A and B are shown apart, each in its own frame.
Chain A
Amino acid sequence: MSKKGVHVKVDEFKTDVGLFKNLELSIGRIVEEKWAEPMGPTPFPEITTLRDWDMKLLQRYKPFYLPFCDVCCLCTFGKCDLTGDKRGACGLNMAAQQSRIVLLACCIGAATHIAHARHLVEHLMEKYDRNTPLNVGGLNIDIEAPVTRLVCGIKAERLKDLEDALEYCEKQVTHLLSATHTGQEGSNLDFESKVLHAGMVDQVGMEIADLAQISVLGFPKADPEAPLTDLGFAAADVSKPTILVIGHNVPSSVGIIDYLTDKGLLGKVEVVGICCTAHDITRYSSMAKIVGPISWQLRYIRSGLADLIVVDEQCIRADALVEAQKVKAPVIASSPKNCLGLENRTENPSEQVISDLVEGKVPGALILNPDKVGEVAVETVLKVAPKRNKFSIIPKKEEIIKDAQECTECNECMRACPNNMPIPKAMKAAAKGDLNPLADILEDCIGCGRCDSACPNDFPLHSFIVKAGEEQLLKEKFKMRVGRGAIQDVEIRNVGGPIVLGEIPGVVALVGCANYPKGGKEVAEIAEEFAKRRFIVVTSGCAAMSMAMVKDEEGKTIYEKYPGAFDAGGILNVGSCVSNPHIAGAAIKIASIFAKRKLRANYEEIADYILNRVGAVGLAWGAMSQKAASIASGFWRLGVPVIVGPHGSKYRRMLLGRKDIDEDWYVYNARTGEKVYVGPTPEHLFTAAETKEEAMVLIAKLCMRPNDTSKGRAVKLTHYIDLHKRLYSVMPDDIHLYVRNQADIPITMKDEILKILEKKEWKEMGIPDPTLLPRLIRKTKGE
């Protein structure tokens, strides 16, 4: 059955044109399926199909709006002042406006992933074979695409089968986006429901992208021992001609590696990457290396180490071409979504393009054919590298000191800096020849370059900071395990029980961008803390890179210290942004493989299962993008809470539970139909933590679920209380909400906790078979 497999068969059909016999018509693709499971209730859900589920979530996790802006300027009625209870000319109020902006962000994020998936699938079908079987883990994986199966109700077996799900996603995003038009949706909660829908289809889009590239390009297939790769400024031998790739969509980078391989040039040219393209190209080839996360762009380009830059799409600096020109490095743009104003040279003879780039006649070229990108990039870099001689615009120490003496301490740089870095003070020290305070800034600097733009003296402050920290930076080389892709079914079977019963205290997903409040080292610290505590730590994207960038006394990174298996104490990098659905997929597979819940188009039941039983939490410590917003919302709808760093407060809306309102925390006991209080588990669906300490305490707390066994709850409480005491120096003040009976109390803390319970007039509560869905209540005979 297909989502729109309209199939008409008529024996005889008479029209003005004539008589047709035995006519068979197919509108849309008919997916032939070998999936015995009967179709569930919600195949290819439309934008209101899961609205009831959303409202259940939103009733408990109410939006707290944090308007970044007091006005709306979306149409020519505006600007409208929406302060307080005012309404705009269209009748919209502030709450609806905020939720509309969140929806816009999530539509942008989802559209980006879905378009990425569309491009990948079409490219791979054209270049390889439409019938390539989908394979993410060979015999180790039976459920190849848990999200797509759950949402769409289809089992895709070949590359071409993904197109139905893609079309579905595209349609949904169009509908969702249309709801943001003036005079469409008026209710903030309905906007929020649509936000959740955007997140859900985003997960499908991402899953398709990763499924396609893993299957066709031979990435690691659910491999806990995926190879270690090098990361950092010193990861590659930059004395060789060096190509830097930036972005997320890997075909052009693959084109480069393939060309090098075909021409026997591997080892003669270095290929290094920034952001998710770096993840994916290291999944493709061990020849590629990683520079670092998104925030490493300016420092690397300005250092002049890259002789040629290839950009594809997403999270690429809009001034990449401008910066590249300063260091005389040609740029190849390779995505229709990011043409950078360059002339389209796709149809020109390669020699002509290469010669124009080498001679500097043009700063760059747009080439929309990945194989051609490979050829042009490699041939150009071989000729450009000796001419450039690693030309850098990082200033000399003396130049910095001289400029620093002209600094007026006007504070404009600091006031432009998202992290309020004390640049004026550092400049004062630099004026006296001490560059250490500038070097200290590098660690917490997110590389945005806003300080440069702000300085009335036009000092290239980011370059000053890079120079000050250069000695250390140029030596840096870390080991990171490349993206392993999916989680094996057997891994799920092994840990499903312990997770659902609460004995593995939780699954923590450290994901997202690099907009950190205090540098990437905090991500490494959080990851290690929870791996040591025997949580399962999963990671992807820039966070996966940041956590590699810290070494212990023996010089080892966490990827060398902890196994890459989906098991207690493991740290697993699933891959790039589009690999995130493997994390959602693991939660879905726990419900499906371990608990044998029906998977096919059965979204609500599986989400209800995850919300009530699977202690999984996401932390996007440096979440920046609209994609991060939609990724998070995909997790919310599935019942997985997400924490963001303090900059994430600028997403304008949290989804917060109120532990002080008892009525909010009742579920049905599926065994009896009774409504029972289960405590605030999990307390929030989306919140921003102010510090890493708060994030760690929240992670431990948000892993608690109504279904935990007493043994499991005691383990979870131990971690929560232990972290709270260590980081806050006090006991948590809400333990009484999480202890259901005496067996839940961690043995070592029994006396202390009993005293607290007594003071709070605590009463014992039962442990139900929890659900929010009345239809899952198992009625006994005669009822």
Chain B
Amino acid sequence: MGVKEEPWQTAEIAGPKKALLILKPEVVAAMVKKAKRPLIVVGHLAAEDYSEDAKMIDYAIRMSNAAGIPVVATAHVVSEFIKRGFSSATHMPAMDIGDRLADSEWKGLDGNGPYDLALFMGLPYYMEFVILSGLKHFSTNLKTISLDRFYNPHASWSFPNLSIKDWKDNIEIIVNKLGGN
């Protein structure tokens, strides 16, 4: 397991402010529990990567079910949620949800107020990179977590670059700590 703050795409360097490394998955679970208004944003790769027994989308569903976190499905991935019997995902282009999250006046999907924590997974690496950057610079009071198996430096917290196995072990712990099984 690599533990460096090193972007997956070599040249996508960020800073001075960079994502803190998630070294203990329990911390993510604690942050989610502590958050008043968390949200999961899931891109189309969630249904494609990483392997048959470790698909991001399945973990997103388990997290959402366990902790009651709303899901925004970007691009066409909403169809994959439906295939899996998960019908409560809101579908919205990645740029639209990024734009709304950057707006501190936005009242959220349910009209109940802004979110304080957004968890991202399954967007193309570079697209997630720039959207997280937009949020780092322009959102107030929003923290972001990248849950892909790559270090994405514009998030507030991110995994380091991980093997599929290590990623799976980590995300399992998060889901379990949130009460999912």
| A residues adjacent to B (C-beta < 8 A) | 62, 64-71, 81-84, 94-95, 412, 415-416, 418, 420, 454, 517, 646-647, 649-650, 652, 654, 656, 658, 660, 687-691, 693-694, 697-698, 727-730, 733
Contacts and interface: CB of A to CB of B under 8 A. Distances in A.
Interface string B118-146: 00000111110011011011100000000
Given A654-B99, A733-B91, A84 B137 contact: yes
B9 to A, nearest CB: 6
B78 interface: yes
Contacts of B14: 69-70
Interface in B1-27: 8-11, 14-17
B16 A81 contact: yes
B95 A415 contact: no
B90 A691 contact: no
Chain A CB within 10 Å — which of B8, B96, B136 has the most?
A: B96
A680 to B, nearest CB: 11
B93 A649 contact: no
Contacts of B137: 65, 67, 70, 82-84, 94
B79 A68 contact: no
B102 interface: yes
A412 B10 contact: yes
B63 interface: no
Contacts of A733: 90-91
A698 B93 contact: yes
A658 B9 CA distance: 32
B157 to A, nearest CB: 16
A727 B76 contact: yes
Contacts of B61: none
Contact of B134 (A65, A689, A730): A65
Interface residues of B, number: 40
A86 to B, nearest CB: 9
B62 interface: no
8 contacts: A64-B99, A70-B133, A70-B137, A84-B137, A94-B138, A418-B126, A646-B126, A688-B95
B113 to A, nearest CB: 14
B124 A654 contact: no
A646 B91 contact: no
A69 B154 CA distance: 10
Given A687-B93, A729-B83, A694 B130 contact: no
A729 B78 contact: yes
A415 B99 contact: no
Nearest to B135: A66
A452 to B, nearest CB: 14
Contact of A694 (B8, B9, B75): B75
Nearest 4 CB-CB pairings of A with B: A729-B79, A693-B76, A66-B130, A690-B75
A238 to B, nearest CB: 36
B103 to A, nearest CB: 8
Contacts of A65: 134, 137-138
B94 interface: yes
A690 B126 contact: no
Nearest to B17: A83
A694 B78 contact: no
B34 to A, nearest CB: 22
B94 A690 contact: yes
A658 B76 contact: no
Given A65-B137, A67-B130, 17 more contacts: A65-B138, A66-B133, A70-B17, A71-B16, A82-B137, A84-B17, A84-B136, A415-B8, A647-B126, A656-B95, A656-B96, A658-B100, A660-B100, A691-B75, A698-B93, A727-B79, A729-B82
A656 B99 contact: yes
Contact of A64 (B10, B98, B125, B126): B98
A694 B10 contact: no
B43 interface: yes
Contacts of A95: 138
Contacts of A68: 130, 133
Given A64-B102, A81-B16, A730-B91, A649 B136 contact: no
Given A67-B137, A70-B17, A650-B130, A415 B10 contact: yes
A157 to B, nearest CB: 45
A694 B90 CA distance: 14
A288 B123 CA distance: 42
A415 B161 CA distance: 11
B44 interface: yes
Interface in B65-103: 74-76, 78-79, 82-83, 90-91, 93-96, 98-100, 102
A501 B106 CA distance: 35
A317 to B, nearest CB: 18
Contact of B93 (A70, A84, A416, A690): A690
A64 B133 contact: no
A64 B134 contact: yes
A558 B133 CA distance: 40
A646 B131 CA distance: 11
Nearest to B89: A730
Contact of B125 (A416, A420, A689, A693): A420
Contacts of A730: 78-79, 82, 91
A416 B130 contact: no
Nearest to B139: A84
A693 B44 CA distance: 10
A119 to B, nearest CB: 33
B91 A67 contact: no
A84 B130 CA distance: 14
B57 to A, nearest CB: 14
A143 B179 CA distance: 69
Contacts of A694: 74-76, 93
Contacts of B75: 689-691, 693-694
Contact of A690 (B15, B17, B127, B136): B127
Contacts of B138: 65, 94-95
Contact of B91 (A66, A654, A728): A728
Contacts of B124: 420, 517, 646, 690
A296 B135 CA distance: 36
Contact of A652 (B10, B44, B83, B130): B130
B95 A687 contact: yes
